[in-house]
Every structure is written in structure tokens, then in C-alpha cells.
Amino acid sequence: MSERYLSPLISKERHPARRPELHPARRRERHPVRRPGRHRREQRRPEGGPGPCHPGPMLVARSVLLFVLAALFEIGGAWLVWQGVREHRGWVWIGAGVVALGIYGFVATLQPDAEFGRILAAYGGVFVAGSIAWGMVADGYRPDRWDVTGALICLAGMAVIMYAPRGR
């Protein structure tokens, strides 16, 4: 194809995803204007919030709560399917597990960050720790020190991925 025919397909003016100001998931707040003579940490942010570089405590709390809720639905759903198939508990358990897994998929979309890859990667750490905790409660699993160490490393990775300050 010649360039003349491709240009409307890749034009920034015609496709909102290629124009950040038109695409709601790609809009970025502007940093507050720095006043001369004041250190960056002393700058007042609009509306008293921590600004776009670092999430505020309520946003972090909401995100953590959503991660825990997602873990309960995903791990619980997988456990219900496992019980239905491996422990021969029947189709009702399998069906409940499938419903719980579907709800997990919906809960994950409620995260405040718009980046799917970041959310899913960070959730991986929550899933690892949550799976060990679920096994302890539901199946009497006794993790050793390496299980606990690995889960803590995964949670630390989740915290870095989700909550590290980013200069956008």
C-alpha cells in the first residue's frame, strides 16, 4: 500500500487513542507550578493531595482492599473448582467457582491505575501470598520459612510496582 492510503489510518488527528488529551485513560494531570525559592517537598499541591507522582493514603488503601477482594474471589473460585473436580463434590461447587472467578475478573477492573499490565503484575504478588494464607486456613497447610520469605518478597515487589512514586 502506498503511504497516501495509510496516512488516514495512522493519523493522530483521527484516532483518539493516539491523542492523549482525548483518551480518558491516558490523560495525565499536570504537575503544580513550582515557586522559586521553595524546595520541591515544600510545594503545595492542588486540593491538598499528594499529587500525580505519588498516590495518596486513601487511594493506596482502596487499592489494597481491591487486591485482597480480588484474591478472595480468584483463590476461592479456584479452590471451589478444585474441590468440585478433585474431591468429587459436584457441579454446584464447580459452578460456584466459575462464578467467583468471573467476579474476580470484574473486581480487578476497579483498580485506580489504568495500566492493565501493572495491575496484573502487582496482583501476582498478592496471589502468591494469598494462596499460601488460603492453604493454611482452608487445608491446614503449614508453610516453611522459604514459603513465607518468598511470599514477603512477592508482596514487596507488588508494593514497588504499584506504589513507587513516578514522575509522570
Q: Are residues 60 and 16 in the same domain?
A: no
Residue 1 lies in a domain: no
Residues 67 and 142 in one domain: yes
> 114: closest CA among 165, 63, 167?
63
Same domain for 106 and 69: yes
- Confidence check: pLDDT of 128 > 70: yes
Q: Is 168 among the domain residues? A: no
CB 84 within 8 A of CB 90: yes
Is residue 53's pLDDT more than 60?
no
132 shares a domain with 63 = yes
pLDDT confidence bin for 55, thresholds 50/70/90: low
Q: Which of 111, 110, 108, 113 is nearest to 54 (CA)?
A: 113
- Give the least confident one: 45-54, 89-98, 126-135, 142-151: 45-54
Question: What cell does 68 get?
Answer: 485482597
Domain that holds residue 75: 56-162
Taking the model in full, what pTM does it have?
0.62
Q: How far apart are CA 167 and CA 149, in angstroms?
A: 31
Total tally of structural domains belonging to the chain: 2
Contact 37, 145 (CB under 8 A): no
Q: How confident is the model at residue 54 (pLDDT cuts 50, 70, 90)?
A: low
Quick check: is 153 in a domain?
A: yes
- Interval 86-95: pLDDT, tens: 999 999 999 9
pLDDT-derived band of residue 11, with 50, 70 and 90 as boundaries? very low
The pLDDT of residue 60 is above 60: yes
Q: Are residues 64 and 26 both part of a single domain?
A: no
Chain segment 140-153, per-residue pLDDT in tens:
999 999 999 999 99
Residue 56 or 132, more confident: 132
Would 51 be classed as within a structural domain? no
